[in-house]
Copies of this chain bind each other. A is one copy, B any other.
Amino acid sequence: MNISLTQALQSFLLSKDFSLIKEFCLSAHPAIVADFLSSLEPQEIWSVLSALDPHKRAEVFCQIDEDSQVALANRLSRLDLAALVTDMSPDDRADLFRLLPHATQEMLLPALAQAERDDIRRLVSYEEGTCGSVMTSDYAALTEGITVAQAIEELRKEAPDRETIYYVYILGEDRKLLGFVSLKDLIVSNPALKVSDIMHRDLIFAHVTEDQEEGARKIAKYDLIALPVVNDAGSLVGIITHDDAIDIINQEHTEDIEKLMAIGGRHEVASYLKTPALDHFKNRVLWVVGLAAIGLISGMVIHRFEATLAHFMILALYLPMLTDSGGNTGSQAATVIIRALALRDLHLEDIFKVLFKELKVSLMLGAVLGALSYGKVLFLSRSLAIPGDMTLSMIALAIALALAIQVITSTLIGAALPMGAAALGCDPAIVASPALTTIVDITGLLIYFNVARFVLGL
């Protein structure tokens, strides 16, 4: 939103001219109104919201970020909150209810009508991360016996209360899901036809306990506006809409990318600046300490070869180069594999094809990086004193060979570990960059010292 508009609205607010604000809020998209409100104090937000009609008020409220929603809800009277919650869409109101303090929940429930109370209780009962926890109960449904004309007439009546009427689900006894028709189908069909004659019976649906990511993937793959969600009995219990699918995909992506960098925590699409520094610290420290613990092993390997290093100090100078190269090439391989697994572009049974391909890639990378490091040692260490009967080029050769082997090993480990994690039912992203760097440090050091001792005959 542009700044002049915000300023204009703030001057309306100062002048208490709510008719102007109301006019803006009525014509603007709820998300734009919510953007404007985000710059105001809670009591100002509520004074704008209360000037709107109940439907628009609820729409705008749903677009405000969750922390502010909770802060506002806690300031409202029982009746105001109950009225607001009643007008919210079922999925948004269940999300809000989950975040409210227990006392506010207990205060709110008795103030709601039986239908809303039951709906909230049902939606919050599904475990977080499942399709049930993100679905809405605001769907359009019809029985199969009616005609196309009757169906359109029915939708005309229901539409104002439904999140989407573009897909209409056809239900049998006990709300069993039989098929669906799109509003487009209804519009183009002969009005005298039975709905059962034109409905699609090849339904794409999700189970209520299915992973929300799986639901979002179905919406993406089959280009759906909404995905029906059924229970064990095959009865329709809700739908996930296309806009929720995008939110799920964005949330999962944040989760992947943060796991990749060894950051823990809730992985909600929370605000960076609103999260306290202590929480950021907690999200990061566990992994960093864990990696430092694994780093003990690298330290022991280095100490095991301290006599070699004391004699050949030049080898110590190239330790950081070795560990960095292994970490970088291993992380690249892991990233490509993790992303391919996430997009379902790779499957576990492809493991040998993957390793063979990564072997070819790593041979090329190893050759290039080995040659570069050979040149680097000759250049950087040209004036260094070399002990005994060694020559600098022999030492450079040993370092280059070790580095090439390390690049090949790290790439293969980087490709294999995410697939191994997936095979064990873990998220492949947990073995990415920092974890992998720490692991290939250990193999790298063992390769380095053994190659050096072999080539240099120590």
Does B156 lie within 8 Å of A288, measured CB to CB? no
Contact pattern, A 283-294, Cβ under 8 Å of B = 1, otherwise 0: 011001101100
Does B339 lie within 8 Å of A258, measured CB to CB? yes
A361 within 8 A of B: yes
25 contacts between A and B (CB under 8 A): A27-B202, A159-B187, A159-B188, A223-B241, A223-B243, A242-B243, A246-B249, A256-B257, A261-B332, A262-B332, A271-B345, A272-B336, A273-B354, A273-B357, A277-B364, A284-B365, A285-B365, A288-B328, A289-B368, A303-B317, A306-B384, A313-B313, A316-B316, A327-B327, A327-B437
Bound CA–CA A287/B302 (angstroms): 28
A331 within 8 A of B: yes
Does B166 lie within 8 Å of A303, measured CB to CB? no
Residues of B within 8 A of A241 (CB): 223
Binding site for B on A (CB under 8 A): 27-29, 31, 152, 155-156, 159-160, 165-166, 183-184, 187-188, 201-202, 204, 219-225, 241-243, 245-247, 249-250, 253-254, 256-258, 260-263, 269, 271-273, 277-278, 280-281, 284-285, 288-289, 291-292, 295-296, 298-300, 302-303, 306, 309-310, 313, 316-321, 323-325, 327-329, 331-332, 334-340, 343, 345-346, 350, 353-354, 357, 360-361, 364-365, 368-369, 372-373, 376, 380-381, 384, 433-434, 437-438, 441, 445
Bound CA–CA A90/B441 (angstroms): 52
Bound CA–CA A278/B187 (angstroms): 53
Does A332 lie within 8 Å of B288, measured CB to CB? yes
Does B357 lie within 8 Å of A31, measured CB to CB? no
Bound CA–CA A204/B1 (angstroms): 12
Residues of B within 8 A of A271 (CB): 340, 345
Q: How far is the CB of A454 from chain B (nearest CB, A)?
A: 21
Partner of A361, one of B281, B313, B361: B281
Does B343 lie within 8 Å of A376, measured CB to CB? no
Does B220 lie within 8 Å of A247, measured CB to CB? yes
Does A331 lie within 8 Å of B28, measured CB to CB? no
Q: How far is the CB of A186 from chain B (nearest CB, A)?
A: 9
* Contact of A261 with B309 at beta-carbon distance under 8 Å, contacts A242-B225, A272-B345 already known: no
Identify 11 new A-B residue pairs, CB closer than 8 A, beyond the known A165-B187, A295-B324: A28-B202, A29-B202, A183-B184, A246-B246, A258-B335, A262-B332, A269-B345, A272-B337, A281-B360, A292-B321, A328-B437
Bound CA–CA A265/B103 (angstroms): 54
